[in-house]
Structures are given as structure tokens and as C-alpha cells.
Structure 1
């Protein structure tokens, strides 16, 4: 069985928060997050170890998995960079598949803010294996008015998996 063995500082994200039924995000993981220095690309990093169930029949990381992770990075990561702790629904995304990843690779995702308006957040997302970019995405997310669900309710486990 493949052991995730995330790099130092990464903690497993508990998207279910003890709920009786798992959410979609729990089915695609396990996923990990690391918080770095504020104001840098490492302020929020999402990571995961490529497992066989995440791959296509050719043995490469499935494009749907890459898009799912990029969507999470584009909302959770860009929201963190912008100081927004609300759930940000995605309104548009485009994807460029740059290179494959394979079972055992450690994939990291980071967001770059392009622009934040009163109601929208624009970001560019990169998924990488080491220094190699494997996916580039462009995202637009809605900033809801008023109160709403906060992504901060997804807990980080305090002991690495």
C-alpha cells in the first residue's frame, strides 16, 4: 500500500469535520495543506501523493483529479491570499494540461491572485511535481455577500498522516 508521507509542514485536510456522510472532497483525497509565510505563493499550498485510484487507464494522474485539485486551490488558496475565509463558488475555470504525473509523485498546488473585485476573485493556479509544472489553470470565483459557509470549517489534522 502506498504511504502518502507528505513533506514537512503538510497536514491532512479533514473536509468531513465528523459529519456522518463523506463529502466529494474526501473521496478524491487524501489531500494535505501547508500554510507558509503570509504574502507569498506558499501562504497556502495544497498537496497530495498520486495514488492508483487517482489515475487514468494509461497510468497518469487523471485530468479530472487535476481539475478538482486546481478548483480547490483556486478557491481555498486564492481566498486565503485575498484574506477571504468564505466558501467561494467557482464561476469559470480553464485548464492547460502541461505534463503528466504518475503514481507516487507528490503534487503541489499554488494560486496567484490576478485581481480581486467587490464580488469576484481572479486567480492563476499551478500544479507542480517538484519544479515541473503539470497544470496551469485560470479561475474566477464569486465572493458571496453577507455571511455564508466558511471553508475554514475543514479541519487540518494536527498529526501528519
Structure 2
């Protein structure tokens, strides 16, 4: 289980930890990769939805750079969560296709931010461009196509932003082992 302490991650002001496993008996994949945070800004700005995380050693490859699998996982979440937020969808959007360009490495201690830009939306598909950055330097560019489920679809209601870290830790299941 990830460390739920925000002190270790030291997220910038306005970022709240995402609790992907709220009320689930077993943790999901997203909980195993490390703490992820989100910040909501003014509608129509580049900060309307920002996903962030602190790079830790367990997220890196043997060369010391952020592992490509971690980059792809985060980009996928930025595309579906961020893109969905930008167009007003509160549904789980399954990824249909993604492409990635790895531009530079991120290193242990870096604060990474991910942003999505909606390219196009049809009745059944959402097309986004995604950037992962450290400061102003983009180190990953991705393009994603996500399926917009018909009807109500599976709500994206399990994940929530943690408002009170002490309450989130208290409500977390005890470690297995």
C-alpha cells in the first residue's frame, strides 16, 4: 500500500490526494503505484484539471529515470480523468488507443504534473492530447482515444479527492500481511 502521508510527497498547494479505493475491500492497481494528487482550477484554463505526483525510487527504472510504464499509466489517467472533466463527463472512460512520445526523463524527487487538452469529442469517443511536465519542461507527450459509454455507464464515483488526510488514513483498511 502507498504511504498516505502527504508530508513525504510534499504536494504543492491546492493538490489533494486521490483516494481510488474508497469503500473497496481490496486495493486496485492505481493504489499500488503511489500517491496521486489532483488540483482543480478555473474552468477553461490549463489548470482546470491537473494530476500530480512526486517521483519516488520505486517508480524508476534501473537507470534512475521515471519508468515508462509509470509515465504511461499516469498519462492514461490524465487523459480519461482530465479529458472527461474538461468536457463535463463523470463516467469511467475506457481507453481505446494511446500513443506516447518519451522526450526526457523525470528523476527521483521531481514533482510531475499532467494536463489534458481535448482535441475532439464525438457521441462515442473522446480524443485528447496529454502532457507530463516537471516545471515547464515537458517530458512525455501522449495522444489518447477513450470510449464514451452510452447511457449512464459506470460512474467514476469511487475515486475522490481526500479533503482530510487524517480521516482518509483512519478509513483505510489495515495493511494485509
TM-score bin, normalised by smaller chain = over 0.9
The residue aligned with 2:171 is none
Is residue 11–residue 159 contact of structure 1 (8 Å, CA) maintained in 2? Answer: no
RCO comparison, higher one (Cα < 8 Å, 6+): 1
Of residues 16-25 and 147-156 in structure 1, the stretch that sits farther from structure 2 once superposed is 147-156
Could you tell me how far apart the structure 1 residues matched to 2:42 and 2:86 are?
Answer: 11
CA displacement, residues 37-89 of structure 1 (integer Å, 9 cap, x when unaligned): 11122111000000111000111000000000000000000000011110000
Select the structure of larger CA radius of gyration. Answer: 2
Q: Alpha carbons of 1:128 and 1:160: their partners in 2 closer, same or farther (altered >3 Å)?
A: farther
Count of residues in Structure 1 that have an aligned counterpart in Structure 2: 161
Distance 1:160 1:106 in 2: 20
- Whether the 8 Å contact between 2:127 and 2:143 is mirrored in structure 1 is yes
Determine the structure 2 residue equivalent to 1:94: 99
Partner of 2:36: 31
Task: Name the SS of the counterpart of 2:32 in structure 1.
Answer: helix
Mind listing any 5+ residue stretches in structure 1 that lack a counterpart? Answer: none
TM-score (norm 1): 0.96
Question: What does residue range 130-149 of structure 1 map to in structure 2 within 5 Å?
Answer: 130-149=135-154
Deviation at 1:159, TM superposition (A): 3.3
Tell me if structure 2 keeps the 8 A contact 1:88–1:141: yes
Q: Quote how far apart the aligned CAs of 1:160 are.
A: 5.8
| Cα 1:131/1:160, change in 2 over 3 Å | farther
- Contiguous gaps of at least 5 residues in structure 2: 167-177
TM-score under structure 2 length normalisation: 0.88
The C-alpha deviation readout for 1:123-160, integer Å capped at 9, x for no partner, is 00000000000100000000000122222430111136
Task: Supply the RMSD in Å over aligned alpha carbons.
Answer: 1.5
